[in-house]
Amino acid sequence: EQREDWQAAIRAYQQVLNRETGRDELELELGLYNRIGDLYLRLGETDEAVSYYEQAADKYAEA
């Protein structure tokens, strides 16, 4: 059940991220990338987690 909650949270965060990308909301985007990464870690999906952390780092470096 908790796993399903985390997966639902990932989907919700991804929807917000898709809506906000490119709207000059860097802090929000960085937080979303990191939260999604954290949830993937909890699910044991390390590669996905790293991907989201790297995207956050790339966005931060571009700022």
pTM above 0.85, yes or no: yes
47-51 contacts: CB < 8 A, separation 24 or more? none
Q: What pLDDT, on a 0 to 100 scale, did the predictor assign at position 31?
A: 94
**Identity of the residue numbered 27:** E
The CATH number given to 2-62 is 1.25.40
The domain segmentation of the chain, as residue ranges, is 2-62
CA distance 5 to 54: 24
Q: What pLDDT, on a 0 to 100 scale, did the predictor assign at position 23?
A: 74
CA distance 43 to 23: 29
Q: What is the pLDDT of residues 18-52, one digit of tens each?
A: 987 777 788 999 999 999 999 999 999 999 999 99
Q: What pLDDT, on a 0 to 100 scale, did the predictor assign at position 37?
A: 98
Q: What is the pLDDT of residues 54-63, one digit of tens each?
A: 999 998 998 7
Burial pattern 29-42, b for ≥16 Cβ within 10 A else e, equals bbebbbbbbbbbbe
